[in-house]
A and B are shown apart, each in its own frame.
Chain A
Amino acid sequence: MRITVDGTPHELDIEADMPLLWLLRDELGIHGPKYGCGIAQCGACTVHLDGLAVRSCQITAGEADGAEITTIEGLGTPEALHPVQQAWIEEQVAQCGYCQSGQIMQAASLLVLNPNPTDDEIDAAMSGNLCRCASYPRIRAAIRRAIQAEGA
């Protein structure tokens, strides 16, 4: 199968039923997306597939054949931050940080689809992403900050 991840094309000989999450982590060594539940209940594995947020534990390699994937590591880097990452840093959202790759990817996708979401729309879009540390108030603040930064 062929897949482009963070702008780099790859050709892989792997099982069609391998979840994209494990293709990324264990075949390509891209560790930003995290394993938390394996059943689309936590959102820690969220990446963008052709620009939209998906749970990479639920997309098989067969389904991802030919797709363009963006992970947290391709969204932005410490040297060239994405506005959502910048907002996450300024609001100091992360505690343990394990869910935050997925939270950021989900928020970035939301703002592409809906650049000016209401509070209820933010809550609805983000409720598939579990944060056991309950950093939620800062997640809300960071999304509002990113909206303002984008609008400015």
Chain B
Amino acid sequence: MGRLKTIARRTFLIGSAAVAGGVAFGIYAYRKPVENPLLADLPPGAATLNPYVLIDAEGVTLITPRADVGQGAVSIQTYLLAEELDVDPATIRTDFGPASGAYYNGKVAAEGMPLAAWDDGLVARTGRGAGDVIAKFLGLHLTGGSTTVPDSYDKLRAAGASARETLKEAAAQRLGVDRTALRTEDGAVIAPDGTRITYADLATEAATLDPVEAALRDPADWRWLGKPMRRTDIVAKSTGTFRYGGDLVFDGMLHATVVTNPVMGAGLTSMDTGAALAMRGVAAVLPVTDGFAVLADNTWRAMKAARAVVPVWGTATTHAATTDEMWQAHADAMTEANRDSRFADDGDVDAAPGTPLAADYRAPFLHHAPLEPANATVTYTAERTDIWTATQIPTFIRDAVAGITGQDADQVHLHNLASGGSFGHRLEDIWVRQTAEIAMQRPGTPIRMTWSREQDMAHGFLRPMALARGRGTVDAGQVRSFDLSIAAHSVGESQLGRQGLPAAGPDVAIVAAAWDAPYALPDRRVTGYRVPAGVGVSSWRSVGASHNGFFHESLMDELIHAAGADPVEERLRLIHHAPTRQVLETVADMASWDGPLGDGRGRGVAVTFAFGVPCAQVIEVSQTDAGLRLDRLWLAAEVGRVLDPVNIESQLSGGALFGLGHAIGAEITFADHRPEQSNFHDYDSLRLWQVPQVEVRALGTTGEIRGAGEPGLPAAAPALANAIFAATGTRLREMPFAKTMVFA
């Protein structure tokens, strides 16, 4: 296995080659059950039935390995397990579990392949299967790509069902009755005479049995799934009692903050620490990669003293100085030599008949900027290292810290935490590495490191800026041809590079939600160009779709208007995917698309297909004396089976509003090689007074299982730009829109 794993790791391609690589692994090893990582650290008296169920004298703990960044992952994982295990989701204990390949994510690898989610052909199905195989071999314990529910849906219910039946088998053997004579209820097995035996009582016996495989319950018999659920964290999050990383307190703990070169990677030449060390509560000023850390007995004292350190920064640079130069690099990258992909190439766009139209579009760099600043606590000793942080990549962090401390991976213990937002930020780990560097210089002392907002804002790995060139023709009242070229840095190359992993093959993210937009035209082409690496870039909520939804649906809208056609009708004519047509028809109906509008008002529509979810949005705006006002937003999406209508509504609405906030007002720009923004006064997003009335409908007519965290975002910006065009006649081709339009 070791060698296969090495090969798998070496060939972890982010493009088409992954499909070819995947099938070589063979099915036998893939089918071997995963080892249970809970056995390694099992407390005395506790028992475990599979990687998701731990039972001790106090009761059951469910392991929910997918990170909770606010999307409700712990809650839905708890309900999926509880539905089969028969425990109360409101009172059950949960834990994220250790960093382990046993918790591999079988769905996320397919996101990197050039497979349209609407494609049900043999190649696409084989490729998705290969993604699952690759993920298992790599032990890809990762949260992302709106895959938590798709990956967990069968896995966790099966784990819950198997644990339940194994506990029943233990009870059956103890009582000398047949297992089928027993039932379960609220954490206990019930005998025919009504005797209750708790799971805790049965656990040790059950753990000695071979796990019983059990059929999954019929959805018609579900107690919780499919109905509005109460999030398991909702009371704690409404009473200030929910604990984030920055709220943890350890005996003997020191508070720390880190300041690194404002030009990322340029290093620290020297520093004068005299004034800082003289300040109250300051314990030390220590070097870390690219900067320094201040340790104190209070986070504010550490941050205040950090401002008193006088650093001499290194002057090396790894990317262009200004945003203008970066735009030029993007324009220059649109050459054959930099061509990364052309997954869609139908007909001949150069020979297409009709009246031509051409337009360029721009999307800026964006920061994730979750409201909880990056933080981590690390305790290092020669024997073991413990890490407490909120992360979507537990095994990567464990291995990275082991590399820093020089320990084996099994000496590094990651205690994952829920995060105060992420939007992709917790796929990064630089602050955890910094905290490990500090902790190594203070063995035995827990170091709780918190970035200031200013450090956080200026040291992000960003949503790539992207440049699009659109062309097309219209003929006889119809859109005839469509040709979209997109230039951007590769997120895969940048992000995997930070983990020391190579990324070969084309990067699907550069063209995601453009090449696979389910439109059929005789002449249609989508080309991706890879801009040579510069500013470090990262997965930002909906990744490539976050700019490509805007590019694709803006160009499509311009062509439709040029043809003199109706934006809904013409899209319906061109879209070949029935669920996508259905969400568009639904949203048009919700918004009374054909209904009258007063002067100075406008409606815009956009439809995108990302993460397997078609999503259509209509936005209504009006011109006021104070500027442009967002009045209404209607959203229809097909996420397949609706497991929790409350949270799906929150995620789709949140995704759309997050998209709008950035489309209107946010960008990270560069001057003198460094970001110009430093806090929320110059990097803002939507505020309550700007929020339109929102109405969301999740259709739930297909049997698919899809995630809802990201698909709500990509259609929001183009729906707004198209509404602004309808209301004002001004076509916005560059985000953020507030650069050219005054908003109320």
**Footprint of B on A, CB under 8 Å?**
15, 18-19, 21-22, 25-27, 29, 31-39, 41-42, 44, 71-73, 75-78, 81, 85, 88-89, 92-101, 104, 122-124, 126-140
Contacts and interface: CB of A to CB of B under 8 A. Distances in A.
Contact of B421 (A19, A96, A138, A140): A96
Contacts of A31: 240, 243, 246-247
A117 B124 CA distance: 55
B654 to A, nearest CB: 5
Interface stretch (B204-212, B601-609, B682-690): B682-690
Given A25-B299, A127-B687, A140-B688, A72 B69 contact: no
A89 B238 contact: yes
Given A19-B300, A41-B680, A132-B371, A127 B688 contact: yes
Nearest to A72: B240
24 contacts: A15-B280, A21-B300, A25-B299, A26-B297, A31-B243, A32-B239, A33-B240, A34-B372, A34-B420, A39-B453, A39-B680, A77-B239, A78-B239, A92-B230, A95-B71, A95-B421, A96-B69, A96-B418, A98-B244, A104-B238, A123-B689, A127-B687, A132-B658, A137-B693
Contacts of A32: 239-241
A152 to B, nearest CB: 20
A26 B299 contact: yes
A136 B420 contact: no
Interface of B: 69-72, 230-231, 233-244, 246-247, 249, 255, 280, 297-301, 369-373, 418-423, 450, 452-453, 646-647, 650-651, 653-654, 657-658, 661, 679-681, 684-689, 691, 693-694
Contacts, number: 178
B421 to A, nearest CB: 4
A94 B234 contact: yes
Which residue, of B237, B239, B241, has the highest number of chain A Cβ atoms within 10 A?
Answer: B239
A37 B303 CA distance: 13
A98 B372 contact: yes
Contacts of A123: 688-689, 691
Given A38-B453, A94-B238, A136-B686, A26 B300 contact: yes
Nearest to A80: B239
B679 A39 contact: yes
Contacts of B244: 34, 98
Given A37-B680, A89-B238, 8 more contacts: A37-B453, A81-B239, A94-B233, A96-B371, A96-B372, A96-B421, A126-B688, A130-B371
B240 A71 contact: yes
Which residue, of A18, A33, A137, has the highest number of chain B Cβ atoms within 10 A?
Answer: A137
B650 A135 contact: yes
A111 B332 CA distance: 56
Nearest to B686: A134
A71 B240 CA distance: 9
Contacts of B452: 38
Contacts of B72: 95
A92 B70 CA distance: 12
Q: Across chains A and B, which 10 residue pairs bring their CB atoms closest together, nearest first? A: A96-B70, A32-B240, A98-B420, A72-B240, A97-B237, A134-B657, A22-B300, A94-B237, A31-B247, A41-B680
A28 B234 CA distance: 25
Nearest to B235: A78
Contact of A139 (B236, B421, B688): B688
B680 A130 contact: yes
A137 B421 CA distance: 18
A140 B692 CA distance: 11
Nearest to A18: B300
Contact of A76 (B239, B657, B680): B239
Nearest to B231: A92
A31 B420 CA distance: 14
A77 to B, nearest CB: 6
Given A27-B298, A127-B689, A134-B661, A36 B255 contact: no
A129 B687 CA distance: 7
Nearest to A82: B239
B99 to A, nearest CB: 22
B238 A22 contact: no
Which residue, of A71, A97, A101, has the highest number of chain B Cβ atoms within 10 A?
Answer: A97
B688 A136 contact: yes
Contacts of A124: 689
A72 B239 contact: yes
A35 B657 CA distance: 23
